[in-house]
Structure 1
């Protein structure tokens, strides 16, 4: 565990609400991004983020500081997102109309001064395509792919978060990559057919 996390967790365990607020500030974007990539819905990602911090707060006394705090909080968020996916079941379709404006605010609509309008459109289309492909993966692959490639966690950390052996994590990563690759190739082919 890094020094800052250790100091903040120790203070938060002692009842320092400012230290807990700093932990929230440090992890809120990471937890939201993880939940959003797993669930594909801004409102649900916000709910999971909020539930994660409630769980962290209520269970902080049981946290074992021999383990990394980031691993513990990612495990909580991942489990909450997986529970939500199980309850929701698969109610999405790759052919469904995906609302591009859902959850955007005025800040997210501002143009990036580094890219021109064409680059922005292409980048947004690519991001949407990848997100749709990730959402099409079964939950057992989706969570591991998000943790590895979007949160950049190690195989060992993922193994601890999802309570699976490292070899199982590697197998699911391989199968998830294959499924994702097939989705993206299929999407690319259908896009070419639409243009011709």
Structure 2
């Protein structure tokens, strides 16, 4: 990798660190672990920077590293999740308006990883379908199908949960 592309990568990571952290946090639900994943992802990106072809593919290339590092972490942890103060605050019934967010968060947690990844990348990270396909190393049509199915599952999940609350 030439030094110009490496400098652009460092700038990209610096400018997008909050988004990258949020993406890692969406998987591990723990601030400390998310920071570890971001740090490991940066290390992996710099170590394998020769595989980066162009500036145009930088975002999807780096997000793929973050997603894969997050999934590797979860595999190693066998989904044992520590709950930190920030997560406890999110789940405490302190404010009435927090409930819809908690329902969405709970529904998102129940989605299989490929579906959750598509939702997070599309609606929280604002990636285009084509960029998501690059990140996930999938066809555009597969991503569209997963997005549709994920939204359907979320809608079904959210509706059934809301119905249970009404009973």
1:44 corresponds to: 33
Match of 1:158 among 122, 132, 145: 132
1:27 corresponds to: 16
* Aligned-pair CA distance for 1:10: 4.5
Q: Secondary structure at the match of 2:56?
A: coil
- Separation of aligned partners in 2, 1:142 and 1:89: 18
- Separation of aligned partners in 2, 1:152 and 1:66: 18
* Aligned-pair CA distance for 1:150: 1.1
1:173 corresponds to: 147
Change (3 A) 1:73 1:25: same
Could you list the runs of 5+ residues in structure 2 that have no partner in the other structure?
none
Pair 1:126 & 2:100 matched: yes
* Aligned-pair CA distance for 1:122: 3.7
- Separation of aligned partners in 2, 1:10 and 1:124: 46
- Separation of aligned partners in 2, 1:100 and 1:89: 18
1:95 corresponds to: none
- Separation of aligned partners in 2, 1:87 and 1:171: 29
- After TM superposition, the structure 1 stretch with the greater mean CA deviation from structure 2, 41-50 or 149-158, is 41-50
- Separation of aligned partners in 1, 2:83 and 2:62: 30
- TM-score, normalised via structure 1 length: 0.70
* Aligned-pair CA distance for 1:174: 1.2
Structure ranking higher in helix proportion = 2
Could you list the runs of 5+ residues in structure 1 that have no partner in the other structure?
1-8, 93-97, 109-119
- TM-score, normalised via structure 2 length: 0.80
- Separation of aligned partners in 2, 1:41 and 1:189: 30
Pair 1:101 & 2:90 matched: no
* Aligned-pair CA distance for 1:66: 5.5
Contact 2:41 2:69 (8 Å CA) reproduced = yes
2:75 corresponds to: 86
CA RMSD of aligned residues (A): 3.0
* Aligned-pair CA distance for 1:99: 5.5
- After TM superposition, the structure 1 stretch with the greater mean CA deviation from structure 2, 43-52 or 146-155, is 43-52
Contact 2:129 2:140 (8 Å CA) reproduced = yes
Contact 1:37 1:134 (8 Å CA) reproduced = no
Contact 1:40 1:135 (8 Å CA) reproduced = no
Pair 1:60 & 2:49 matched: yes
